[in-house]
Structure 1
Amino acid sequence: MDNTLNVVRIPKELRLILELMKEGNHQYVQKHQESLCRDIDWNFFIKLTIHHRVYPLLNFKIKMLDESLVPAYVFQFLNHQYKKNTFQMLRLSAEMERVSKLFSEQNIRTVFLKGPVLAQDLYGDLSLRTSSDLDILIPIEKLEKAEELLLALGYEKDDYIETVLNDWRWRHHHVTYIHPRTKMKLEIHWRLHPGPGKEPSFNELWERKSKSELTSYPVYLLGTEDLFLFLVSHGARHGWSRLRWLVDIRQLMRQRVDWIKLYNLFKTYHNPHVGGQAVILASQLLNTQIVEEIKPLLVDKRSKELAQEAIFYLENMVNLHTDPVPEEVSEYHKRHLFSLMSVEQKLFFIMSFFHPYPEDADTLPLPKKLHFLYFPLRPLLWVWRKTRKRALS
């Protein structure tokens, strides 16, 4: 199958970044550096390095280019950001070890999903990947205890989830805590991803966990295959709108992955086409080598279609984390998320609309013992809100 992607609308500044980031591309870049650097808007280039969170790696990669072709301030900026990120990762490492020790002493099993352990595991150097916070997965029954411990450390809960009939347990997947003095941010997860959707239980993930070599006190991260599944699902859910997530996949594909075990995980959770999307993007955009064992992920033509859809996010420097997201981007992203789902996932997703939302309780407040009435009332409340919104507009 031809997996070539149409990338002609990607800005030339991002194409330069991709050429610098590609695997085994040193000779090509040096031979064609003058044409690659021609008419580059270096301020936009810098904006893209920040948006895609790839400035730590580019700090070294850009040295492939002749200094006469790149303004001095670009080298200075990348080097400054690299040093700044290194200090940030060291701070996160210290806090990660402290929280891991505290939780362990209180019998809370913890698995760190990203952050310094991921940088060390994938890149062999925590300074080569960026992180702004710590993502910690714990059993759902330990959430209350974890909050108690974090509040005692001075953290404050940043987001209070509105819920009705306990839908928070599956509609959401984490809650955020921020320390007002240190500005340290922690996300405590009880699921890997927001629901509805099938995913491995905490106990399964714990049994397959890996131990990080980064700290003296034991700190754990996901096992290799679970990590691949998690990073693929996370990146796809965000449209691969940041190149860093795709570079993570490239780094993971270089490791000793049990591809048969991984393929079975993708089949179990109904998303081998999403795994195929990630592999095609990593191959086409970063020259990542595809070994024979990966090819079962590529037989579904949907993988190629989904990979091409993801190019939209690179063409437009889409930022899904900053509100308001432009309406055309929001609509495209909704359609893309739906196209990522399997038939079973689409069914769960559609069924979830029939479960009451917090807006229903806002529209028609009822005593808690009568909340079950929101199930039959939900269609009426939804129509009422839509009608009122049109009337107001």
Structure 2
Amino acid sequence: MDNNNDLDLSFMPKELKLLLQIMQTENPGYQGCLNKELFAEIDWELFLKLARHHRIYPLIYSNLSKMDEKLIPSHVLHTLSQEYKENTFQMLNLSGEMERISQLFNENGIRSLFLKGPVIADAIFGDISLRTSKDLDILVPKLDVNKTEALLLSCGYEREETRSPFKMDKWRSHHVCYYHSQKRIQIEIHWRLYTPPAKEPSFDELWERKRLSTLTSYPVYFFGEEDLFLFLVGHGAKHGWFRLRWLADIDQIIRNGKFPLLIKHQRHLVGQALLLASQLLKTQIPEVFVPFTVEKRSRKLAELATYYLVEMGYVSINQSSKEPLINHDKLHPLLSKPKFKRWFTLFYYNYSVKTNIQKVIYVLLHFYPQSADVQTLRLPKPLYFLYFPLRPFFVVWRKSSKLTLTVKRIQKAENK
């Protein structure tokens, strides 16, 4: 890709840049091109925290284990090795449960498509140990949701209560979580892929294009190649690609040659994903997709996402050093206050990635009461209407409280 179109990555912490380069070492033609200077003056504790946050530590360990051990401190390799083994056991455990649940649903006349988890790791990487997954996400027809719940409850799963007193929250819901305390496994049952009013294929269409997994002896079904690619693109875009694991999926799918040749929808999101993959992971973009990456909207979303993934990493690991993970002066110079700059950029990304009707709803929801408001101040049901005028005060209160706690944690760390 033309260097004139390169994204500005100068604000990224060097530990994140090192992770990105290690992820690239499996790319064809990359061997022998490792920049060893990147290993100098690395905060290895931050390196590990970022690897965990981005859920890429299995890939990082796999690649590091093939490199010169002198470049990496022994305790870092040992830590990654242990977490790699723990993840492998977790994925094997999920694989067994995935097969049992698939059989349970099938024997009770429920069609199911597994969205993520071991089946996706096997399909994309050919090795379940190279990808992480904390739960099983399963798509079922909406008419079968109640029947699905009854089956899970009969097997020892408990529904995680997230019922909201507000109708808007109920209308926008598209999945329910269940947890098995003995197995320590979480399952998310979806009847939609995205929050309404997003446009998406019907279950029947997805079922028609399904694939059979080779991972299990009992049939387990998941998305066809095109549906999986577009789902992963949509999921990553929705969350600002704040976990590099999602981008690693896109990179691997393209390197496997398992991507759709014709894309009619979500061109700007596909362009964003491909641009990020090519810039961060040096993915070789197929010629047919290059026009997607030069579209103005795709590039804008990619620029915002680079900020988003770094900023969310900063929030996630609660960095306690004096130096921030990101140089906030590099973006949006017209905004003088860093805190406001961060809030505005994250809000602007979430707004920009949506369709026109989604943008309207997104803005309106900022004025609509949420479940968090009820937790902030519990009012009798006849007084629920007061949540509307009180919502701005609740939002400011929660933001201020979080900021105060963060400042105290940082000050405490600095005084140690």
* TM-score normalised according to structure 2 size: 0.80
> What does the per-residue CA deviation read over 1:362-393, in whole Å, with 9 as the maximum and x for residues that have no partner?
868469xxxxxx9xxx7x86235447888999
Aligned partner letter, 1:109: R
The answer as to whether partners of 1:89 and 1:130 remain within 8 angstroms in 2 is yes
Query: Which residue in the other structure is 1:28 paired with?
Result: 33
1:216 and 1:172 map into 2 onto residues whose CA distance is 33
Query: Which residue in the other structure is 2:83 paired with?
Result: 81
Q: How does 1:249-264 map to 2 (within 5 A)?
A: 249-254=250-255, 255-260=257-262, 263-264=263-264
Q: How does 1:252-331 map to 2 (within 5 A)?
A: 252-254=253-255, 255-260=257-262, 263-264=263-264, 266=265, 271-318=266-313, 331=344
Report the 3-state secondary structure (helix = DSSP H, G, I; strand = E; otherwise coil) of the residue aligned with 1:76: helix
The answer as to whether partners of 2:88 and 2:129 remain within 8 angstroms in 1 is yes
The 1:70–1:385 alpha-carbon spacing in structure 2 relative to 1, beyond 3 Å, is closer
Question: Following TM superposition, by how much is the alpha carbon of 1:332 offset from its aligned partner in structure 2, in angstroms?
Answer: 3.4
1:17 and 1:356 map into 2 onto residues whose CA distance is 40
Report the 3-state secondary structure (helix = DSSP H, G, I; strand = E; otherwise coil) of the residue aligned with 2:207: helix
Task: Name the Cα RMSD after superposition.
Answer: 3.0
1:356 and 1:388 map into 2 onto residues whose CA distance is 10
Query: Which residue in the other structure is 2:208 paired with?
Result: 207
Query: Which residue in the other structure is 1:177 paired with?
Result: 178
Aligned partner letter, 2:74: A
The 1:103–1:59 alpha-carbon spacing in structure 2 relative to 1, beyond 3 Å, is same
Question: Following TM superposition, by how much is the alpha carbon of 1:74 offset from its aligned partner in structure 2, in angstroms?
Answer: 1.2
Gapped regions of structure 1 (runs ≥ 5): 368-373
Question: Following TM superposition, by how much is the alpha carbon of 1:295 offset from its aligned partner in structure 2, in angstroms?
Answer: 2.5
> What does the per-residue CA deviation read over 1:44-79, in whole Å, with 9 as the maximum and x for residues that have no partner?
111111111111111121135422221111111111
> What does the per-residue CA deviation read over 1:61-109, in whole Å, with 9 as the maximum and x for residues that have no partner?
1135422221111111111111111110000000000001001111111
Q: How does 1:1-393 map to 2 (within 5 A)?
A: 2-22=4-24, 23-24=27-28, 25-29=30-34, 32-33=35-36, 35-162=37-164, 164-165=166-167, 168-169=170-171, 171-254=172-255, 255-260=257-262, 263-264=263-264, 266=265, 271-318=266-313, 331-347=344-360, 349-350=362-363, 365=381, 382-383=388-389, 385-386=391-392
Question: Following TM superposition, by how much is the alpha carbon of 1:198 offset from its aligned partner in structure 2, in angstroms?
Answer: 1.4
The 1:59–1:348 alpha-carbon spacing in structure 2 relative to 1, beyond 3 Å, is same
Report the 3-state secondary structure (helix = DSSP H, G, I; strand = E; otherwise coil) of the residue aligned with 2:240: coil
1:123 and 1:387 map into 2 onto residues whose CA distance is 47
Question: Following TM superposition, by how much is the alpha carbon of 1:161 offset from its aligned partner in structure 2, in angstroms?
Answer: 2.2
The answer as to whether partners of 1:241 and 1:319 remain within 8 angstroms in 2 is no
Question: Following TM superposition, by how much is the alpha carbon of 1:201 offset from its aligned partner in structure 2, in angstroms?
Answer: 1.5
Question: Following TM superposition, by how much is the alpha carbon of 1:159 offset from its aligned partner in structure 2, in angstroms?
Answer: 2.9
Greater RCO, 1 or 2 (C-alpha within 8 Å, sep 6+): 1
2:363 and 2:66 map into 1 onto residues whose CA distance is 50
1:389 and 1:91 map into 2 onto residues whose CA distance is 40
The 1:321–1:157 alpha-carbon spacing in structure 2 relative to 1, beyond 3 Å, is farther
2:218 and 2:302 map into 1 onto residues whose CA distance is 40
Report the 3-state secondary structure (helix = DSSP H, G, I; strand = E; otherwise coil) of the residue aligned with 1:27: coil
The 1:388–1:108 alpha-carbon spacing in structure 2 relative to 1, beyond 3 Å, is closer
Report the 3-state secondary structure (helix = DSSP H, G, I; strand = E; otherwise coil) of the residue aligned with 1:275: helix
Question: Following TM superposition, by how much is the alpha carbon of 1:194 offset from its aligned partner in structure 2, in angstroms?
Answer: 1.8
Moved more, 218-227 or 57-66: 57-66
Moved more, 186-195 or 89-98: 186-195
1:384 and 1:134 map into 2 onto residues whose CA distance is 38
The answer as to whether partners of 2:20 and 2:281 remain within 8 angstroms in 1 is yes
Report the 3-state secondary structure (helix = DSSP H, G, I; strand = E; otherwise coil) of the residue aligned with 2:8: coil
Gapped regions of structure 2 (runs ≥ 5): 319-337, 401-416
The answer as to whether partners of 2:91 and 2:118 remain within 8 angstroms in 1 is yes
1:58 and 1:338 map into 2 onto residues whose CA distance is 33
Count of matched residue positions in the alignment of Structure 1 and Structure 2: 369
1:89 and 1:195 map into 2 onto residues whose CA distance is 31
> What does the per-residue CA deviation read over 1:290-348, in whole Å, with 9 as the maximum and x for residues that have no partner?
1111124224211111111111134335377899xx97655532221101123343245
1:381 and 1:281 map into 2 onto residues whose CA distance is 40
1:126 and 1:390 map into 2 onto residues whose CA distance is 43
The 1:186–1:6 alpha-carbon spacing in structure 2 relative to 1, beyond 3 Å, is same
Report the 3-state secondary structure (helix = DSSP H, G, I; strand = E; otherwise coil) of the residue aligned with 1:181: coil
Report the 3-state secondary structure (helix = DSSP H, G, I; strand = E; otherwise coil) of the residue aligned with 2:65: helix
Moved more, 326-335 or 230-239: 326-335
Aligned partner letter, 1:335: Y
1:307 and 1:355 map into 2 onto residues whose CA distance is 29
The answer as to whether partners of 1:10 and 1:314 remain within 8 angstroms in 2 is no
1:332 and 1:180 map into 2 onto residues whose CA distance is 39
